[in-house]
């Protein structure tokens, strides 16, 4: 649109967003078509196509593994095992859900198995939570990234809270732990968690309720 053309009336002002939306939809459609082609090639044994799928999702998978396992070495093991399982089973993918949902399910199942094997050993790390009072959100939703500019006393309090939560988390079953992590540390909706775990939203809700109740009982005055 030329700079000298006046923008008057809704008839001229409205088409812009529609064009933008159409362009975004076209880009998403093109991406889905390209991904489907990659999947179909990978299903025939094309390693290069599968490697391209890995490149598309490797950061998401590693971030999920880190959030769930809390230790870098465990997350790397999950990452490798998950993609190996995906490669071995990609011929079973039937396009009934998105590839990301299918891959997400594999990763969470590998994490569940790893957490079961780990048993009740305490975690080395836990997400650091804000010590600020905020009554507008649930205690478990109040998180913050480590802030180097925080004063030492506040940092110490944050680490103390994190340590208590880490100890309390060991009381959860592996499934409760995964559901809690995905809801509060990744911000996923219950339906998305259910899709990833291959279960219903109601089952996820029940697991989250049990996990939260256990943690509140362990953390006492903190919550």
Per-residue three-class SS string for the chain: CCCCCCCCCHHHHCHHHHHHHHHHHHHHHHHHHHHHHHHHHHHCCCHHHHHHHHHHHHHHHHHHHHHHHCCHHHHHHHHHHHHHHHHHHHHHCCCCCCHHHHHHHHHHHHHHHHHHHHCCCCCCCCCCECCCCCCCCCHHHCECCCCCCCCHHHHHHHHHHHHHHHHHHCCCCHHHHHHHHHHHHCCCCHHHHHHHHCCCHHHHHHHHHHHHHHHHHHHHHHC
**pLDDT of 42:** 94
The pTM (predicted TM-score) of the whole model is 0.59
**pLDDT of 129:** 35
Dihedral sign computed on CA atoms, order 186, 190, 195, 200: positive
**pLDDT of 88:** 94
Half-sphere exposure at residue 208, Cβ-oriented, CA atoms within 13 angstroms: 21
Neighbouring residues of 79: CB distance < 8 A, sequence distance ≥ 6: 58, 61, 62, 65
The answer to whether 90 and 50 are in contact (CB under 8 A) is: yes
pLDDT level of residue 71 (50, 70, 90 thresholds): confident
Residue 116 has pLDDT above 90, yes or no: no
Question: Which position has the higher pLDDT, 82 or 163?
Answer: 82
Q: Which of 82, 88, 93, 89 is nearest to 40 (CA)?
A: 93
Tell me the average pLDDT across 21-25.
70
Range 107-116 burial, b when 16+ CB lie within 10 A, else e:
bbbbbbebbe
**pLDDT of 152:** 57
Q: Which of 55-59, 109-113, 157-161, 173-177 has the lowest mean pLDDT?
A: 157-161
Mean pLDDT, all residues of the chain: 75
**pLDDT of 199:** 86
Q: Which of 14-23, 63-72, 110-119, 193-202 has the lowest mean pLDDT?
A: 14-23
Residue 144 has pLDDT above 90, yes or no: no
């Amino acid at each position: 649109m030329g700079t000298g053309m006046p923008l008057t009336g809704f008839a001229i002002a409205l088409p812009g967003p529609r064009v933008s939306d159409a362009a975004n939809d076209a880009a998403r459609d093109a991406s889905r078509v390209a991904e489907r082609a990659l999947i179909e090639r990978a299903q025939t044994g094309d390693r290069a196509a599968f490697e391209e799928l890995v490149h598309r999702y490797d950061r998401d998978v590693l971030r999920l593994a880190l959030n769930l396992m809390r230790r870098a070495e465990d997350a790397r093991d999950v990452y490798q095992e998950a993609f190996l399982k995906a490669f071995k089973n990609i011929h079973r993918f039937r396009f009934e859900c998105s590839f990301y949902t299918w891959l997400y399910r594999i990763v969470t199942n590998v994490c569940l198995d790893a957490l079961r094997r780990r048993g009740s050993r305490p975690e080395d790390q836990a997400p650091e939570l804000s010590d600020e009072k905020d009554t507008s959100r649930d205690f478990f939703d109040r998180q913050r990234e480590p802030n180097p500019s925080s004063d030492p006393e506040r940092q110490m309090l944050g680490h103390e809270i994190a340590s208590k939560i880490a100890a309390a988390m060991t009381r959860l079953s592996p499934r409760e732990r995964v559901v809690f992590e995905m809801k509060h540390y990744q911000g996923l909706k219950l339906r998305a968690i259910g899709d990833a775990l291959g279960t219903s939203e109601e089952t996820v809700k029940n697991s989250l309720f049990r996990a939260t109740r256990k943690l509140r009982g362990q953390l006492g005055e903190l919550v």
